[in-house]
Amino acid sequence: MCSLCLSSLLLVLLVLCFSGVSSADTVNPTIIGKGYRLVSIQETSDGGLLGHLQLIQNSKVYGPDIPLLQLYIKHETQDRLRVHITDAQKQRWEVPYNLLPREQPPSLTQTIGKTGKKPITVSEYSGSELIFTYISDPFGFAVKRKSDGQVLFNSSSDPKDPYGELVFKDQYLEISTSLPKDASLYGLGENSQPHGIKLYPNDPYTLFTTDVSAINLNTDLYGSHPVYMDLRNVGGQAYAHSGLLLNSNGMDVFYRGTSLTYKVIGGVFDFYFFAGPTPLGVVDQYTSFVGRPAPMPYWSLGFHQCRWGYHNLSVVEDVVENYKKAQIPLDVIWNDDDHMDGHKDFTLNPKNYPRPKLLAFLDKIHSIGMKYIVIIDPGIGVNTSYGVYQRGLANDVFIKYEGCTLLGASLARGCKLSRLPQPENCILVG
């Protein structure tokens, strides 16, 4: 099957799956599986725990379950705990370790460890600030903060809960946690929720990055940040902690006020829990793991004007001039892809954005301290006369699926998407 047909089919399926989260799904969810039981667990040489989870009962909903999972837990710092669950027999997609440097779990053992002892029904794995506890059958785990005894995450369920046990299939993963009624959650971006970053019960939270205008409400946008901060009032004191699910696949997150459920279409469960206990502490702990914000140039903190539809340079000049007439300070003017020749990256439209006139415009705005930014689309236009496209083919830098170059949907219709840049082809990727 050609990649164009396959990608079109996948797009249709994904649109059907993520076309909306109904309130019925949130209030009366379908219980998918019966969960897993812990059949072995042992300490690793790096001070973590390594175990195996065996499927209790197969469910045909959304495909067959993966029968054996590998569980890895480690207190990576005094205030960060990692819980990693994956297929014990086959490698699965994860956020690449060279993109986000972090410790790698032990390699897949593919066999159940023999300790000669019966599995412990309830056990505890304590760190400096966080405590990990688990129940063996059905498997569930909880994360607790030592300083105040608050349970930060608890995946175990009982029949009265509006969610079920752990589910792990090839293209469907599900896990839930109970929450206290007074918890206030923030995050799970990037989206255009009417309430901003504060989570409201029964609102849809879908992480499936799209190039959609933020003017549409309840829409997932450019970035995927499957992390939330939980603020609680404990005895009149404010406490905070955070949970990150490091997974780049599309997902729905259902917040019901007293529970949170992740439904993911691939990858692994790779949870990181940050102890806080203050919001500033959470931010510090989180960014120490994912990376600190880059220092920003002073001018970037000023007022920016950007939109699609500046069809020629005269329109851009008029925008800058009208800001001046209205006495509104303007620090940066942007161009979307209007400046390009036929939506081709690294080009100028010779009629609407002639190079000599554009350079004169730049000299003018630079003389008064303004900056100019143009976007670069990561999709390379399919055009046999386009040098960037030809060099991309010659250097074999485009994403492939089963040997065929993948066509992607973009504003530049009929484009190819470059894979992550290598030193010899980074010029091809914006």
Residue 66 has pLDDT above 80, yes or no: yes
Q: Are 83 and 125 spatial neighbours (Cβ–Cβ below 8 Å)? A: no
Average pLDDT over residues 132-141: 95
Q: Return d(Cα 382, Cα 414) in angstroms, integer.
A: 6
Provide the pLDDT for residue 398.
84
Residue 213 has pLDDT above 90, yes or no: no
Q: Name the helix (H) or strand (E) containing 289.
A: helix 279-290
Q: Give the pairing type, strands 122-126 and 269-274.
A: unpaired
Q: Return d(Cα 164, Cα 31) in angstroms, integer.
A: 5
Q: Are 312 and 125 spatial neighbours (Cβ–Cβ below 8 Å)? A: no
DSSP 216-273: STT-EEEEEEEEEEEEEEETTEEEEEEEEE---S-EEEEE-SSEEEEEESSS-EEEEE
* 244 CB-contact burial (10 Å; exposed 0-12 / middle 13-18 / buried 19+): buried
3-290: CATH superfamily: glycosyl hydrolase (family 31) (2.60.40.1760)
Q: Return d(Cα 375, Cα 364) in angstroms, integer.
A: 21
Provide the pLDDT for residue 28.
61
Tokens of 395: 């250097």
DSSP 23-68: HHHHHSPPP----EEEEEEEE-TTS-EEEEEEESS---TTSPBPSE
How do residues 362-380 score in pLDDT, each as one tens digit?
999 999 999 999 998 878 8
Question: What are the extents of the domains in the chain?
Answer: 3-290, 298-374, 379-428
- Return the half-sphere exposure (C-beta side, CA atoms, 13 A cut-off) of residue 20: 4
Tokens of 117: 């002892």
Beta strands per DSSP E along 111-234: 122-126, 130-135, 140-145, 151-154, 167-168, 173-178, 184-191, 204-207, 220-234
Residue 336 has pLDDT above 50, yes or no: yes
What phi and psi, each to the nearest 5 degrees, are found at residue 233?
Answer: -100, 110
Per-residue pLDDT band at 414 (split at 50, 70, 90)? very low
Beta-carbon contacts of 429 under 8 Å, excluding residues fewer than 6 positions away, are 378, 397, 418, 420, 421
Q: Are 135 and 156 spatial neighbours (Cβ–Cβ below 8 Å)? A: yes
Average pLDDT over residues 244-250: 97
Average pLDDT over residues 25-41: 81
Q: Return d(Cα 426, Cα 219) in angstroms, integer.
A: 31
* Average of per-residue pLDDT values in the chain: 86
Amino acid in the structure at residue 293 = P
Amino acid in the structure at residue 282 = V
Residue percentage of the chain with pLDDT more than 70: 84
Q: What are residue 269's DSSP bridge partners?
A: 85
184: helix, strand or coil: strand
Residue 81 has pLDDT above 80, yes or no: yes
Q: Are 319 and 304 spatial neighbours (Cβ–Cβ below 8 Å)? A: no
Q: Give the pairing type, strands 173-178 and 259-264.
A: antiparallel
Cis peptide before 277 (omega within 30 of 0): yes
Q: Are 345 and 377 spatial neighbours (Cβ–Cβ below 8 Å)? A: yes
Average pLDDT over residues 2-11: 39
Beta strands per DSSP E along 323-378: 332-335, 371-374
Q: What are residue 405's DSSP bridge partners?
A: 400
Q: What pTM value is reported for the model? A: 0.80
Q: Return d(Cα 227, Cα 250) in angstroms, integer.
A: 14
Q: Name the helix (H) or strand (E) containing 72.
A: strand 68-77
